[in-house]
Chains A and B, each alone.
Chain A
């Protein structure tokens, strides 16, 4: 029986400093057979292992059709993520995955795609935005609503500005705290809904970020007539195993690691925002 808990060795082939505390690692399996057979979907995650320190769940940001290295954008917050910040090209870590259910790419085809993100939980959604932008002809209009706490928190700002210039793409940004270099809105992401051009009959909506933000955004969406069935959201919970064994990621009846992290809103509706689940 294969040991599903055991990682594979990967090598850091590139490291990008996004901000002083956020970095992107490009990882390649040292076993060419695994490198060839590895497949993933936007919204899925890997368990990354730092030698002697521990394992953590991190979303995959690379394009599923690129045969290149697996990319992860990581924010330093604690033991493992700070240790990984020290990694340099040529260093080795462990990786196992991909795990979980990603975004509903098929359901999105032919529809307007609305992205709502808040706080810093943006990595899983940014990979999806890139995926859609790269395959522009398969989708309708694109509406991106991004909220951040502080104007400095917006990583990939130039990328948002580039997206904004594309035809049929609306990018709306808001920051709780503005600043001299912040030409966009000030306030929560929900302040953006009045400016957003969302056609409730043609759209599919993908949300990612703090649960209170997602909950209030969903209320706005439902109020303008978006049906619950077209709403999808990505959830985070403590994860130790990633394969449905350790029990840490439970949310009501679900194991977020394999029933999620991307959930269909109707399935999550009874649990979203209930403190303690």
Chain B
């Protein structure tokens, strides 16, 4: 569902936050400019939002800038947005208690999370969320930890009007407009926001505010900004399904080339909103009688990811990069029916040596080799 657009004047933003709290979302996360980056943090009032803050992103480069105007969503995604909220970087899955006779009892970790509204979610991250939901919540073993975190969230999207130089969501089909997966979606204009609801609970929250319908001109202005955001994206992938093209190039010499530049640091997997790999480990609890079983983010760029005792499946960086790229853009289609890349550009900006997934794919495929 998407409701007909309402207009939320800029000076009612605080009333909007209040309506979220009154609807049971005790905690509100929104973008904040902190430590040189836009990150999602707990906000109290609209004054916490990054008004006048923009960003400049290039391969291996991310800087905040001043925009000189009064908008607060005039930036492209920072290093992380939604993923840590649903797939925690580190969490306990269960605890094992051992009594004096050596008997073991396995207890589930707590699954209660504060109801949280997140403001400023981008289309690419909503697309990534859908992918991770398929991964963690699909049959036969849906993950209750992921489910509990996901269920605690209300999502307020803001359509992207200021993509970075690194963004290419238009070519993956995942943005810049948030088409679904949100409770409420906003388009930011100078004087306020065009708001639509995507769910009943989103609609109920908007109804509390008694907003007037957006005018035709406001609707057109919002659409025009999204159109402009599409046009300003210069990067792209040469197709939405590169499976056959990449599988045909598993022994291409370019893997050596990128393998020489890649530091195997795993930054790309940490910032990627779709990467789901994690390691499990056990940690004794200080009481001496129990042990926690944890999972924490892992990366196919680490050596232990493919450790098999007597050998590593992927000893060389070249092979790890190939695993990453072919998983993202090829085998993902077989596993989840779509590419694992939503075009957010984070792996490009946060790579310390500026490796650019779109450029690597072009080099592998050669020009004029695009797939449908």
Once the chains bind, are B104 and A55 in contact (CB under 8 Å)? no
Minimum CB distance partner of B332 in chain A: A253
Once the chains bind, are A9 and B105 in contact (CB under 8 Å)? yes
Given contacts A3-B144, A248-B305, A275-B319, contact A241 B280 (CB under 8 A): yes
Given contacts A77-B309, A275-B319, contact A253 B106 (CB under 8 A): no
A255 to B135 Cα, complex, angstroms = 12
Residue of B93, B141, B308, B331 touching A244 (CB-CB under 8 A): B141
Sorting the interface of chain B by its residue count into under 10, 10 to 19, 20 to 34 or 35 or more gives 35 or more
B295 within 8 A of A: yes
Once the chains bind, are A3 and B278 in contact (CB under 8 Å)? no
Q: B269 to chain A: closest CB distance in Å?
A: 10
Interface mask (B307-318 → A, CB under 8 Å = 1, otherwise 0): 111100110101
B334 within 8 A of A: yes
Given contacts A253-B334, A276-B314, contact A55 B280 (CB under 8 A): yes
Contacts of B94 in A (CB 8 A): 3, 5-7
A243 within 8 A of B: yes
B368 within 8 A of A: no
A53 within 8 A of B: yes
Q: A249 to chain B: closest CB distance in Å?
A: 10
Within 8 A of B (CB), among A64-120: 77-78, 90-94
B306 within 8 A of A: yes
Interface mask (B88-131 → A, CB under 8 Å = 1, otherwise 0): 00000110101000111110100000000000000000000000
Contacts of B136 in A (CB 8 A): 245
Contacts of A53 in B (CB 8 A): 282
A153 to B308 Cα, complex, angstroms = 20
Sorting the interface of chain A by its residue count into under 10, 10 to 19, 20 to 34 or 35 or more gives 35 or more
A93 to B98 Cα, complex, angstroms = 10
Given contacts A6-B93, A245-B141, A246-B298, contact A54 B135 (CB under 8 A): no
Interface mask (A218-259 → B, CB under 8 Å = 1, otherwise 0): 000000000000000000111011011111101011010010
Main secondary structure of the interface of B (DSSP, over half): mixed
Once the chains bind, are B313 and A8 in contact (CB under 8 Å)? no
Once the chains bind, are A94 and B135 in contact (CB under 8 Å)? no
B364 within 8 A of A: no
Once the chains bind, are A245 and B102 in contact (CB under 8 Å)? no
Given contacts A245-B141, A253-B334, contact A52 B102 (CB under 8 A): no
A111 to B334 Cα, complex, angstroms = 33
B23 within 8 A of A: no
Once the chains bind, are A238 and B142 in contact (CB under 8 Å)? no
Once the chains bind, are A246 and B277 in contact (CB under 8 Å)? yes
A277 within 8 A of B: yes
Residue of A30, A52, A246, A252 touching B279 (CB-CB under 8 A): A246
A78 to B309 Cα, complex, angstroms = 8
Q: A233 to chain B: closest CB distance in Å?
A: 16
Once the chains bind, are A91 and B281 in contact (CB under 8 Å)? no
B338 within 8 A of A: no
Contacts of A252 in B (CB 8 A): 331
A2 within 8 A of B: yes
Once the chains bind, are B278 and A247 in contact (CB under 8 Å)? yes
Minimum CB distance partner of B331 in chain A: A253
Once the chains bind, are B305 and A52 in contact (CB under 8 Å)? no
Once the chains bind, are A5 and B93 in contact (CB under 8 Å)? yes
B58 within 8 A of A: no
Most chain A C-beta atoms within 10 Å of own C-beta, residue among B141, B282, B319: B141
Once the chains bind, are B250 and A274 in contact (CB under 8 Å)? yes
Given contacts A51-B96, A276-B314, contact A238 B305 (CB under 8 A): yes
Contacts of A263 in B (CB 8 A): none
Contacts of A52 in B (CB 8 A): 96, 98, 282, 284, 291
**Interchain residue pairs with CB less than 8 A apart (26):** A1-B142, A1-B147, A3-B144, A3-B145, A5-B93, A6-B94, A8-B106, A51-B291, A54-B281, A55-B282, A55-B293, A77-B309, A92-B104, A94-B96, A238-B305, A240-B280, A241-B280, A243-B141, A246-B279, A247-B298, A247-B300, A248-B277, A250-B327, A275-B319, A276-B313, A276-B319
Beyond contacts A243-B141, A246-B277, A250-B323: 9 other A-B pairs, Cβ-Cβ < 8 A, are A3-B93, A3-B144, A5-B93, A5-B280, A9-B104, A52-B96, A238-B313, A246-B278, A276-B323
